[in-house]
């Protein structure tokens, strides 16, 4: 079996048997394409040794790839060859002992309360795209802590309790309940009126069930939401560019800073491991130290 054949079979297994999301499968494909480019797609997998994989990792390091990117590549390679061993394509796993590289400590990027409020109401101020939709989008992302893919895939029928909450599908097809505060709920109702009008004006007989649409009445993509955020946080807007995940980081940081239990925040974010959620506690601790140093008479000294 060639490396190319193994990769294609493995990706099909991830999507059809494991039920992983399209985004996750694409991520695996992108990482494994690097392996195919380095070793060539037609190499027999029985000829692949640990040394070949280590050289490939070294090549990525020489290209100054981020440690997180290299570790994602290593994880993809390990999972690929574990699959090959499990289904008897190989008698030994050449990737079994591959070690990840050390990650530099990096705190999640988040916004202050004033920054997030400024961005949430920037669509009203600048009217760059679709005011009511974009206010609704920003408030919902901040209020719920949803991933961008979860917001993109949210459907009209997913809402419950008069738009105060909804069910979203996260990583690993795990469903969880998220919540929207009163400002978000009101923005949802205003946007839904606009949404109905857009669909009617475009003469769409079988409208999409996807909640967020563009001005042609079509489902909006992940890249479409990225574009919206970039427009409002760029030179035409707040001039403080943020990525979509900053809303999620800000949600988690705000919840913990205001006394929410870390396990409750873990459940709201859909983290499988509490250690992922606990990194936000470091941010709130650092913020408290900063406030202390500014407020205490001897703090600055």
Catalytic annotation present for 280 = yes
Which is the catalytic residue, given 133, 185, 195, 271? 271
Provide the token pair at 115. 């920054």
Q: Does 245 participate in catalysis according to the annotation? A: yes
147, 185, 195, 249: the active-site residue:
147
User: In sequence order, what DSSP letters do the residues of 191-227 get, joined into one string?
Assistant: HHHHHHHHHHHTT-SS---BS-B-TTSPBPPHHHHHH
Active site residue 296: no
Closest to 140 in 3D by CA, of 126, 127, 130, 150: 150
Alpha carbons 67 and 60: distance in angstroms, whole number: 10
**Catalytic status, residue 248:** yes
**Cα pseudo-dihedral 185, 222, 154, 138, rounded to 10:** -10
Distance between CA atoms of 17 and 9, rounded to whole angstroms? 11
Identify whether the C-beta of residue 79 lies closer than 8 Å to the C-beta of residue 34: no
Q: Which of 50, 65, 171, 177 is catalytic?
A: 171
| 216 catalytic residue (yes or no) | no
Three-state DSSP at 44 gives strand
Say which of 245, 287, 296, 301 is annotated catalytic: 245
Check 78, 131, 248, 249 and give the catalytic one: 248
Reply yes or no on whether 294 is catalytic. no
Find tokens 């309790």 and name the residue: 161
| 8 Å CB contact between 150 and 170 | yes
CA dihedral over 253, 259, 261, 262, signed as positive or negative: positive
| H-state helical runs in the chain | 3-16, 22-39, 50-62, 67-86, 113-120, 122-126, 131-144, 148-153, 182-201, 222-233, 245-257, 262-269, 274-295
Residues belonging to the active site: 147, 171, 245, 248, 271, 280
């Amino acid at each position: 079996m060639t490396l190319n054949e193994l990769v294609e079979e493995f990706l099909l297994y991830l999507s059809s048997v494991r039920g992983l999301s399209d985004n996750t499968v694409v991520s695996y494909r992108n990482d494994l394409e690097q392996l195919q480019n380095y070793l060539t797609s037609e190499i027999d997998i029985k000829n692949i040794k640990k040394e070949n994989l280590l050289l490939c990792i070294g090549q990525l390091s020489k290209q100054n790839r981020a440690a997180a990117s290299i570790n994602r590549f290593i994880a993809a390679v390990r999972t690929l060859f574990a699959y090959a061993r499990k289904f008897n394509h190989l008698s030994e796993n050449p990737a079994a002992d591959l070690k990840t590289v050390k990650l530099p400590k990096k705190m999640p990027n988040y916004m202050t309360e004033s920054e997030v409020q400024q961005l949430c109401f920037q669509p009203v101020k600048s009217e760059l795209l679709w005011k009511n939709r974009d206010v609704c989008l920003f408030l919902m992302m901040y209020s719920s802590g949803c991933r961008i893919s979860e917001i993109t895939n949210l459907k009209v029928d997913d809402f419950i309790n008069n738009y105060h909450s909804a069910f979203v599908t996260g990583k690993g097809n795990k469903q969880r309940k998220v919540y929207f505060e009163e400002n978000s709920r009101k923005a949802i109702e205003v946007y839904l009126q606009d949404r109905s009008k857009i669909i009617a004006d475009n003469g769409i007989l079988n409208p999409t069930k996807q909640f967020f649409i563009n001005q042609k009445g079509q489902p909006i993509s992940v890249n479409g939401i990225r574009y919206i955020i970039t427009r409002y946080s760029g030179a035409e807007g707040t001039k403080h560019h943020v990525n979509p995940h900053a809303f999620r980081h800000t949600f988690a940081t705000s919840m913990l800073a205001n006394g929410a239990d870390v396990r409750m925040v873990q459940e709201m974010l859909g983290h499988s491991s509490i250690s992922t959620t606990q990194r936000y506690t470091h941010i709130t601790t650092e913020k408290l130290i900063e406030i202390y140093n500014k407020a205490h008479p001897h703090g600055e000294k």
